[in-house]
Amino acid sequence: MASVRPFAALRPRADLARSICELPYDVMSSDEARILAQGNPLSFLHVSKPEIDLPPGTDIYSPAVYTKGRENFSRLIRDASLRQDSQSAFYLYRQVMGPHAQVGLVATASCQEYLAGVVKKHELTRPDKEDDRVHHIEALDAQTGPVFLTYRAVRAIDDFVDRAVGEIPAVDFTAADGVRHTSWNLTSEEDIRFIETEFAKIPFLYIADGHHRSAAAARVFQSRGGAGQSGRFLSVIFPHCQMQILPYNRVLKDLNGQTAAGVLAALEGIFQPEPGDGSRPRRKHQIGLYMEGRWHALAFREAVTQVPDLIEGLDVTLLQKLVLEPLFGIADPRTSKRINFVGGIRGPRELEKLVNEGEYACAFSMFPTGIDDLMAIADGGGIMPPKSTWFEPKLRDAMFCHRL
């Protein structure tokens, strides 16, 4: 069963939260972060991507980067831009993005339960990315980016949250991208006891986003032997029915020596044409192909989708095994330099731009992987293909920090 615990968060001053809180470190490049933080010394990108304060070209994994991150973090604390809560609490964190709203519980989850599989994963991690997060946690002695968790919704918890968000919030701001972020503090013994009791009935939590953060937290826990607060990791936990998964699209550098006509001919045995332009697939097993200035709406033929294994039947798996490897020669999308991935938040116009400007030869627009498939795969101990899901809206770094 899952154990969630309250903690005393380090949080931004309410009037400064909009200036401090930022998108996660891993959804932007160093150059993009440098532009976003320009002229804003409070931006948490100075902590989460501290290379922006060092000369361009600095190795982002160098010791100097983590040292600079610690200096910038300490400055925000020293200046009281970030303030330590005096008592342990649970928190609620609501995000509103257009018509979509989601409310998660901010708590600490157990590193031991992560290692034991009570907190379930569905992706592999890269050692270099894990090492980076370990070094960042150790340098700051804190976790500043939460792991995005989900669970199968429970009516009693839903009802409790619905009542709680009717109270006056502690923080409420709308970010530059239009996403609204609101939080509430839950400090009463009754509320804390209710949350701990209800979550203790939930058998598993699932990592939606943050596999490297959780893996790094577990490594710090092991290296420190659980000292201090290292046995817990910062999490925001949402009911599965509120998850918004966008597609993770693919762009290819070249056509592997083929003509566009040859590619379309080779795809005829795998796909059948569909009505529409294909830029935004409408259902599972439908994809869009953009090539030479034109969209093609395609659907996997029924014969190729009849597979007994859930992972094998995912659109991202079918595309990889039936198209990307045999037709384009991309055997390992994790390491190939001829493929890139574009989060669905950027929309089909970004795919068109990348191809029209000649940077890529073609693009595949995908239909999002479902949350039920994700949980079922995790329940079976399976690992999804790389870049299978893109969750939106993204949790903001610095809304809550967990000091170890």
Q: How many CB atoms lie within 10 A of CB 396?
A: 25
User: For 28-61, how does the pLDDT look when each residue is reduced to its tens digit (9 = 90+)?
Assistant: 999 999 999 999 999 999 999 999 999 999 999 9
Q: Is the pTM of this model over 0.95?
A: no
The two tokens of residue 120 are: 């379930």
Q: What is the pLDDT of residue 187?
A: 97
Indicate the class that CATH gives domain 10-245+392-403: alpha beta
Distance of CA 67 to the CA centre of its chain: 25
User: What string of DSSP letters covers 294-322?
Assistant: EEEEEEE-HHHH--SSTTTTSHHHHHIII
The single residue listed with the structure tokens 């998850």 is 243
Q: What is the pLDDT of residue 335?
A: 87
d(CA 9, CA 90): 9
Q: What is the pLDDT of residue 126?
A: 87
Strands 147-151 and 82-84: unpaired
Which residues of the chain are modeled with pLDDT < 50? none
CATH architecture of 248-367: 2-Layer Sandwich (3.30)
Domain extent listing, the chain: 10-245+392-403, 248-367
The single residue listed with the structure tokens 């970030």 is 82
Q: Do domains 10-245+392-403 and 248-367 have the same CATH topology?
A: no
What is the helix, strand, coil percentage profile of the chain, to 5?
35, 25, 40
User: For 197-211, how does the pLDDT look when each residue is reduced to its tens digit (9 = 90+)?
Assistant: 999 999 999 999 999
> Prior bond to 247 cis, omega within 30?
no
Main-chain phi, psi angles of 132, to 5 degrees = -60, -45
User: What string of DSSP letters covers 126-170?
Assistant: -HHHHHHHHHHHHHHTEE-S-EEEEE---HHHHHHHHHHTTSPPS
Q: What is the pLDDT of residue 308?
A: 86
